[in-house]
Amino acid sequence: MEKKTVFSGIQPSGELHLGNYYGAIQNWVRLQDRFDCVYCIVDYHAVTGRTGRESDKFQDPRHESLATMSVQMAGDLMACGIDPRRSILFVQSHVPEHTELAWVFSCVASHGDLTRMIQFKDKADRSDYVSVGLFIYPVLQAADILLYRAAKVPVGEDQVQHLELARRIGRRFNTLVGEEYFPEVEAELTAGKRIMSLADPAHKMSKSLGDKHYVGLMEEPDAIWKKVRSAVTDSGEQVGGEMSPGVANLFEILRLTGAVDDVVDGFKAQHAAGKIRYGDLKTAVQDHIMRVLDPIRERRSRMSDDEIRDTLAAGAARASEIAKATMAGVRARVGVGPPPR
């Protein structure tokens, strides 16, 4: 039986953190056992982040180029367990059919639907310059997915609306050409709670909050300990009371990083009795984080940029084959491209 295709994308945003790992990447790694997976570093999507202000430059000397960040991201993903021998790992701009199909889809998608995208509204409200690219961001996302006829797309809650739009675009394309050319895509929601910021557990872990809020996967153990040690908790004295968000977050990290039940239950009992020592809990959290991160950092340190670039070139070649075939079919159905002789 043919395996279904899974597709997902991630922006080359720099260093991955624990929230990304447990919120997405670990799931990507596991899906490789059951599906043909295509994982894409979406650099063209990231361009929208560099054009949100009148004063922005595509290439700002204060930031790495998207090309450099894409190589970094690919290395980090492989260190986490994305296996380029089994899955296709590539960079979006290396396969130009993504943007080509996005144009066709921009002629298929409804303007009204796009104006209802929550992420667009949020970002547009916070930007002083709103590009058309930001507006049609989800159209490019639909092209990413449908180029590979993916059936499943692992994403977080915040992308469900974009996935629904991709389905609508696929359906409308099918109606326009009178044929089921694109399959139905389905979001595969990543289970499990989100990891929250260590310094402000009301918000989910994210780099944009600032350095002390997240644990980078490639950070030095000392730097991580500094953040874990100063993570927000509470006084620890209320008996049987509800767990504060910061403490609940530490327990969640402990569970996700694979602490055995005995360890977690022991701390829970101490907490319920109002006798927990947060220093001990944090030491356990740090130990378990490092047990997960040590092998990842080790694998990453053995990779060279050249090696990663070669892997990405091979990934783009495999992706191209599929993308070219899909796009040839699209051109033929739209009635453009060189006429057949």
Considering beta carbons, is residue 119 or 283 the nearer one to ligand TRP?
119
Residue nearest to ligand TRP (CB): 9
Catalytic residue among 3, 57, 121, 123: 123
Burial of 115 (0-12, 13-18, 19+ CB in 10 A): exposed
Considering beta carbons, is residue 160 or 248 the nearer one to ligand TRP?
160
300 closest CA partner among 17, 22, 80: 80
Q: Regarding beta strands 36-41 and 152-155, do their DSSP bridges make them parallel or antiparallel, or are they unpaired?
A: unpaired
Catalytic residue among 204, 227, 268, 282: 204
Q: List contacts with ligand TRP (CB under 6 A).
A: 7-9, 11, 42, 45, 141, 144-145, 153, 155, 159
Considering beta carbons, is residue 145 or 217 the nearer one to ligand TRP?
145
Residue 204 is among the residues annotated as catalytic for this protein = yes
Considering beta carbons, is residue 13 or 197 the nearer one to ligand TRP?
13
186 closest CA partner among 171, 168, 167, 169: 167
Considering beta carbons, is residue 168 or 297 the nearer one to ligand TRP?
168
Return d(Cα 158, Cα 161) in angstroms, integer. Answer: 7
Q: What is the DSSP string of 45-109?
A: HHHGGGSSSTT--SS-TTS--HHHHHHHHHHHHHHHT--TTTSEEEEGGGSTHHHHHHHHHHTTS
Residue 268 is among the residues annotated as catalytic for this protein = no
Cβ at position 139, least distance to ligand TRP in Å: 10
What's the chain's length in residues? 341
Cβ at position 339, least distance to ligand TRP in Å: 32
Question: Residue 185 in 3-state DSSP?
Answer: coil
Catalytic residue among 3, 193, 207, 324: 207
SS3 content of the chain, % helix, strand, coil (to 5): 55, 10, 35
Which residues in 148-288 belong to E strands, given as ranges? 152-155, 186-189
Burial of 62 (0-12, 13-18, 19+ CB in 10 A): exposed
The single-letter DSSP state of residue 207 is G
Residue 282 is among the residues annotated as catalytic for this protein = no
Cβ atoms within 10 Å of 168's Cβ, excluding its own? 15
Considering beta carbons, is residue 48 or 233 the nearer one to ligand TRP?
48
150 closest CA partner among 35, 46, 43: 35
The single-letter DSSP state of residue 25 is I
- Active-site positions? 123, 204, 207
